[in-house]
Amino acid sequence: MLDHSHASRDTLLTVRDLIRYAVSRFNAAKLFFGHGSDNAWDEAVYLVLHALHLPPDQLDPFMDARVLPEERQRALHLIDQRCDRRLPAPYLTKESWLQGYRFHVDERVIVPRSPIAELLMQHLEPWITDPYAVTSVLDLCTGSGCLAIIAAHQFPDALVDATDISQDAIDVARINVREHALSDRLNLHHGSLYDPLPAGTTYDLIISNPPYVNSESMTRLPEEYRHEPSLALAGGDDGMDLVRTIIDQAAEHLNENGVLVIEIGHEKHFFEEAFPELDPIWLDTAEASDQILLLTREQLAS
């Protein structure tokens, strides 16, 4: 059994000591990892380096560096919070990284992790052949604004609209839009899905990571996920409540050659039951298979 007394923890003298201790604590607490890392080692490294104000991608030069008492206390505080409250690490550090981009996060939004981000980094090739030809993008259920911001970076000539029904989410997204210096190209709209958009606005690309967790799965979420806003996760009995509206109204908001990309997580079975007439293109990433679908305006209009 680990000794958490002040005297015993005072023997943790180096970065290596703190990381080893954190891994042991995380394993003993049987934490769930799914908010930026998928194992105890990576999460321990991230939290310790963050506490010590060290670069998150430069561990080796500092492994045997001795830590000051106040630095040790900062690291131990994060480790304790992670174990005792089972808070996702990004809520402790107030930041999250996605495809190399840093975003401010807190408990008003879900932690950025959508695999759509990987597809945006590839400019959605081959379905989009010229990233400079994309002049308008819409992100529905934007949350922290992460996908809208990545889209703005990857499609540099595009104007981006992003909507969310949560004012809290819009407030967080506004922080990130400002930090990424995109206020001139990215507009945030408070409201449900397409409702707050200017009448007649159409887009070359619509993306969405909507709430899609079905009601049964919501009851079995790990404790870490229960710290996230349920509004951003719960998708109704079959997870398709918002997906239905997104698909039903997408055609009227897409330009002639526009495409819709939606993440539905592990709900492919429910999607196929809800939309038996649709034959989407399923987009795989390094992290996800059968979780992201693409529909053309032509498919949606028919």
Residue 57, pLDDT > 90, answer no
In order of start, what are the domains of the chain with their CATH numbers?
Answer: 6-93 (1.10.8), 99-301 (3.40.50.150)
Residues making up the chain, counted from first to last = 302
Higher pLDDT, residue 210 or 1: 210
Q: How far apart are CA 44 and CA 9, in angstroms?
A: 16
Give the mean pLDDT of 132-140: 98
Q: Are 250 and 299 in contact (CB under 8 A)?
A: no
Please give the single-letter amino acid code of residue 255. Answer: N
Strands (E), the chain: 95-98, 101-104, 136-140, 159-164, 186-190, 203-208, 254-263, 281-282, 292-296
pLDDT tens, position by position, 266-300: 999 999 999 999 999 999 998 889 999 999 999 99
pTM, entire model: 0.93
Helix and strand totals (H; E) in the chain: 13, 9
Q: What is the pLDDT of residue 3?
A: 60
pLDDT digits (tens, 9 = 90+) for 229-260: 998 998 999 999 999 999 999 999 999 999 99
Cα 216 to Cα 75: distance, rounded to the nearest angstrom = 37
Helix or strand (DSSP H, E) at 124: none
With cut-offs at 50, 70 and 90, classify the pLDDT of residue 210.
very high
In DSSP notation, 190-240 reads: ESSTTTTSPTT--EEEEEE----B-HHHHTT--HHHHTS-GGGTB--TTS-
The residues, ordered by sequence, that sit 6+ positions from 292 with a Cβ below 8 Å of its Cβ are: 115, 116, 119, 261, 262, 263, 264, 282, 283, 284, 285
Q: Give CA–CA dist 148/20, Å, rounded.
A: 37
pLDDT at 64 over 70: yes
Q: What is the average pLDDT across 41-46? A: 96
State the virtual CA torsion across 201, 203, 208, 210 in degrees, nearest 10: 20
